[in-house]
Amino acid sequence: MIKPTDFHRMWIGVNSHLLGHLVNGKVLTCSHEQVQFVLTAEAEIEQAQAVRAGLVDHRPAYVLPVTPAVAQALAAGETIEVRVLDGAGEKAGSLRLAGGERQEALRTEHGDQKVVSILASQLDAGDFFAISERTRLSRRWVVYRALTKFDDGQVRAQRTAPDKEPSITVEGEGQVVYLITDRSAMLAKLGWDDVTPTAR
* pLDDT for residue 71 is more than 50: yes
CA distances from 43 to 40, 82, 162, 180 (A): 8, 15, 44, 32
* pLDDT for residue 177 is more than 60: yes
Question: Between 3.30.450, 1.10.10, 2.30.30, 2.60.40, what CATH number should domain 104-190 receive?
Answer: 2.30.30
| DSSP state, residue 8 | G
DSSP helix/strand/coil, 2: coil
* pLDDT for residue 61 is more than 50: yes
- Considering the chain, tell me which residue range(s) the CATH 2.30.30 domain(s) occupy: 104-190
**pLDDT number for residue 39:** 95
- How many whole angstroms separate alpha carbon 159 and alpha carbon 143? 7
**pLDDT number for residue 199:** 45
Q: Which letter, b or e, does each residue of 104-131 get, where b requires 16 or more Cβ atoms within 10 Å of its Cβ?
A: eebebebeebebbbbbbbbbbbbbbbbb
Q: What is the mean pLDDT of residues 141-152?
A: 90
Q: Which of 14, 30, 28, 194 is nearest to 104 (CA)?
A: 14
* pLDDT for residue 21 is more than 90: yes
pTM for this prediction: 0.86
What is the per-residue pLDDT across 111-135, written as a single tens digit (0 to 9) for each? 999 999 999 999 999 999 999 876 6
DSSP characters for 106-167?
EEETTEEEEEEEEEGGG--TT-EEEEEEE-SS-EEEEEEEESS--BTTEEEEEESSTTS-SE
Q: Which of 84, 80, 114 is nearest to 100 (CA)?
A: 80
Q: What is the mean pLDDT of residues 37-46?
A: 92
* pLDDT for residue 184 is more than 70: yes
**pLDDT number for residue 171:** 83
Q: What is the band of 5 on the pLDDT scale with cuts at 50, 70, 90?
A: low
- How many whole angstroms separate alpha carbon 199 and alpha carbon 182? 10
